[in-house]
Structure 1
Amino acid sequence: MEKDIKAVLSWFESEPSLWVSIVTGEGRAFCAGADLKAWNDDQKQGTIAEQERVLTSLHGFGAISRRRGSIKPMIAAVNGGAYGGGVEMILNCDLVVASDKAQFALSEVKRGVVAIQGVIPRLAKIAGHQLASELLLLGNTVSANEALTKFRFVNMVVPHSELLPAVINLAQQICQNSPDSVQSTKKGLLLSQSHSYEETVQSHALSLESKRVYNGSNIKEGLKAFVEKRAPVWGNPAKL
């Protein structure tokens, strides 16, 4: 499945007419995490090389948890249980909408393994050291409302039947904005995670994404539409 997700996301990234992606699960779970039975078999056979796997994994768990270079927004629609690697995937999405039936757990410590595909530094920044420690060191399951109000890695919780309409509505709102501006803004957000304030400003201003904004057709359309008091008609962003 990871290979399939990687292939779909590679296609999404290369297709200029696709501006936003939505990731969700099927059935009762968003993602149950790693296959622990297969992991156990690997341990028995002496074929496990988890440290090397982590170091060589370009995009992390589910081809999403460490996917850092994408400048197109990704929205998680959490339809049910998200455990282990499922939470790692969610925390690398730009917006997270959860069903009121969703549950979350980073229970790796209960199985003798480690949440090592990117969630530890990200959760520490979002929730703070103490709350991140609560999730990671206790390994307990938390509700969607706790993920929203206490741990703060969920943007909104909606009734289960309204999940996909709510997420599609968010995607449509993003698509009402200039794709050049949206992608440049996300570039700035990504830079802020690894650069100082001034470095972020400088690197963002000099980025190819910003250059495309100020030299592209969408900035002209946006300003012209404002003067003419009409909704802008955006074009697909030019390839970088």
Structure 2
Amino acid sequence: MPPVPQKINAPNTGDHLITSCPADHVLLLTLNRPKALNAMTPDLQQDIERVLDWAEEEPEVWVIIITGAGRAFCAGQDLKAWLQGPRTEYGLHEHGFGGISSRRTLTKPLIAAVNGIAYGGGTELILNCDLVIASEQAKFALPEVSRGVIAAQGGIPRLSNAAGHQLASEMLLLGRPISAADAYTRYNIVNAVVPHNNLMSKALEWASIIISNSPDAVRSTKKALLLAKEHGMWEGSKQHFASPLHQAAMTGENIKEGLVAFNKKRNPSWKNPPSKL
């Protein structure tokens, strides 16, 4: 019988967000508004923000996976709710759409398991994930212009950077959906496309591979990627080398464990990384 995964005491949330721990050190977030295609509301946004803020500081969490319940990953903003509220409030969140899309800089890997349609903010959300695994049934779209809205939650620059100006323009200006296969082969915004029934097993497989590595080294490596994207290669490398995450990874217990395990030809036994640096 396989070992029972540990329990992680995540903050309480509404029914619109399910938190679970399908494997040791893995936090799974499931958007749970299937009748509304997991469209984002202010309350759901707030709960995601709170859970991710907690997860960033929780030593037991090494990897985060986000997915959707039902036939959608996330259909974007709940436009019915938006119509009834102030139009400005949706652009003022600290970390962008869903607490992820634009300014969220988690040092822990974030995997999107895209189970169905990811439209509008749903596509913007996955563009700021580290790894994106898509069901063959998934579809992606940035149809904001057809509703008089703008993909201003990180989608425009991230898509342009990944796909290039012309392909980004095709998706943004036409507003038409693209298949998972096109997202993988043409647009370069998906890491893998898998059969629908294999989606979560593939996400957990990748999470387990990440967890087999030193959590200190993984967090420091992700920090280096973020700094290089923001500041360029040389300045990013300079800032990363001087960062507390890098210093902790190079002087902590896990680097010593990794070197000892290599010399003794055994698997390393990693410890939780420091909660705050």
Common fold by TM > 0.5: yes
Residues in 1 aligned to 2:87 and 2:262: alpha-carbon distance in whole angstroms: 59
Residues in 2 aligned to 1:155 and 1:233: alpha-carbon distance in whole angstroms: 29
The match for 2:129 among 64, 75, 93 is 93
Residues in 2 aligned to 1:144 and 1:48: alpha-carbon distance in whole angstroms: 31
Deviation track 1:35-57 (CA, whole Å, cap 9, x = no partner) reads 11222334xxxx4225xx52x32
The match for 1:21 among 64, 68, 76 is 64
Deviation track 1:45-90 (CA, whole Å, cap 9, x = no partner) reads xx4225xx52x32111111112432110000000000000000110
Name 1:109's counterpart in structure 2.
145
Instruction: Say whether 1:33 aligns with 2:76.
Output: yes
- Return the offset for 1:7: 1.7
Q: Does structure 1 retain, via aligned residues, the 8 Å contact 2:96–2:104?
A: no
Name 1:237's counterpart in structure 2.
273
Moved over 4 A (4+): none
Deviation track 1:109-153 (CA, whole Å, cap 9, x = no partner) reads 111110000111111111111111111011001100000000010
Deviation track 1:135-185 (CA, whole Å, cap 9, x = no partner) reads 101100110000000001000000000000000000000000000000000
Opposite residue 206 of structure 1, the aligned amino acid is A
* RCO higher in structure (CA 8 A, sep ≥6): 1
Q: Does structure 2 retain, via aligned residues, the 8 Å contact 1:68–1:190?
A: no
Deviation track 1:189-240 (CA, whole Å, cap 9, x = no partner) reads 0001111221111111111111001110000000000000011010011231
- Return the offset for 1:2: 1.0
Name 2:8's counterpart in structure 1.
none
Instruction: Say whether 1:137 aligns with 2:173.
Output: yes
Residues in 1 aligned to 2:131 and 2:124: alpha-carbon distance in whole angstroms: 14
Name 1:173's counterpart in structure 2.
209
Q: How does 1:209-228 map to 2 (within 5 A)?
A: 209-228=245-264
Q: Give the TM-score taking structure 2 as reference length.
A: 0.82
- Return the offset for 1:24: 0.1
Report the aligned-residue RMSD: 1.1
Residues in 2 aligned to 1:66 and 1:100: alpha-carbon distance in whole angstroms: 26
Opposite residue 123 of structure 2, the aligned amino acid is V
Deviation track 1:1-48 (CA, whole Å, cap 9, x = no partner) reads 111111211221111111000000000000010111222334xxxx42
Residues in 1 aligned to 2:217 and 2:59: alpha-carbon distance in whole angstroms: 14
The match for 2:184 among 135, 148, 151 is 148
SS at match of 1:193: helix
Residues in 2 aligned to 1:41 and 1:17: alpha-carbon distance in whole angstroms: 40
How many residues were matched structurally? 233
Instruction: Say whether 1:194 aligns with 2:230.
Output: yes
Q: How does 1:58-69 map to 2 (within 5 A)?
A: 58-69=94-105
Q: Give the TM-score taking structure 1 as reference length.
A: 0.94
Name 1:118's counterpart in structure 2.
154
Q: Does structure 1 retain, via aligned residues, the 8 Å contact 2:140–2:179?
A: yes
Residues in 2 aligned to 1:207 and 1:139: alpha-carbon distance in whole angstroms: 40
Q: Which runs of 5+ in 1 are unaligned?
A: none
Residues in 2 aligned to 1:147 and 1:207: alpha-carbon distance in whole angstroms: 34
Q: Which runs of 5+ in 2 are unaligned?
A: 1-43
Name 2:51's counterpart in structure 1.
8
